[in-house]
Amino acid sequence: MIEFQNVSKKYDNGVQALDRVNVKIDKGEFVFIVGPSGAGKSTFIKAVLKEVNVTTGNVVVDDMDITKLHRRRVPYLRRKVGVVFQDFRLLPNKTVYENIAFAMEITGTPHRNIRKQVPMILALVGLTGKGNFYPNQLSGGEQQRVSIARSIINNPPILIADEPTGNLDPDTSWEIMKVLRTINRRGTTILMATHDREIVDIMKKRVIALENGQIARDDKVGVYGYDD
């Protein structure tokens, strides 16, 4: 599903953000990416999305070697990978319904399907009845649910969550983790970068730890393992 083959990334300023990374993530896995600040987690995620071009090695996403993928084909890749961020990134002038519908409109989904699928996805993330609310009328946890709904509405095989609980209190964070677990159980591969020790330790999922751009640990049932 996702494979890094001897991947290195050196930024123009000389920083070696990824250093000969080899890793394989299978379909349906739930994987945490942990590591100290500056370890290379964001660079790893950006390499999957082709937001950064790696210096050497190959990145394979959903059976497609994206290393040499033409710029014009990158939007096609992005449809295979839903993304959720710490800061939600919802469109403030659109309702919950419109935020999600918009993601379907840009892929050319017929309105009939949009009208059917948006309520279904709102139910999945526990937001039935909130379709007409604007983002600023929702709690942080609810906004993150909208963001998750938007990220999976086009059924991507992979969901990347970059610190999705970073702005949320512990209880709300767990509500978000339940939603992500439900999505994972439906078959979506999930890759989540996090600094949240409690979540990593309790979830008992695969943990890949990056340090200085290298894989320091890769445990099938791992722990957070840092003091920060």
Ligand X SMILES: Nc1ncnc2c1ncn2[C@@H]1O[C@H](COP(=O)(O)OP(=O)(O)OP(=O)(O)O)[C@@H](O)[C@H]1O
List of residues contacting ligand X (CB under 6 A): 11, 13, 15, 17, 35, 37-43
Cα–Cα dist 180/158, whole Å:
12
Q: Using CA of residue 59, residue 65, residue 69, residue 75, what is the dihedral sign?
A: negative
Nearer to ligand X, 81 or 208 (CB): 208
Q: How far is the CB of 220 from ligand X (least distance, A)?
A: 22
Q: How far is the CB of 66 from ligand X (least distance, A)?
A: 18
- 185, two tokens: 């159980």
Nearer to ligand X, 163 or 175 (CB): 163
Nearer to ligand X, 15 or 106 (CB): 15
137 DSSP 8-state letter = G
The DSSP annotation for 187-221 comes to: T-EEEEE---HHHHHHHT-EEEEEETTEEEEEETT
Nearer to ligand X, 21 or 121 (CB): 21
Q: How far is the CB of 167 from ligand X (least distance, A)?
A: 14
Nearer to ligand X, 176 or 208 (CB): 208
Q: How far is the CB of 99 from ligand X (least distance, A)?
A: 25
CB 191 within 8 A of CB 161: yes
Burial of 14 (0-12, 13-18, 19+ CB in 10 A): exposed
Tally of helices (H runs) and strands (E runs) in the chain? 7, 10
Question: How many CB atoms are located within 10 Å of the residue 79 CB?
Answer: 14
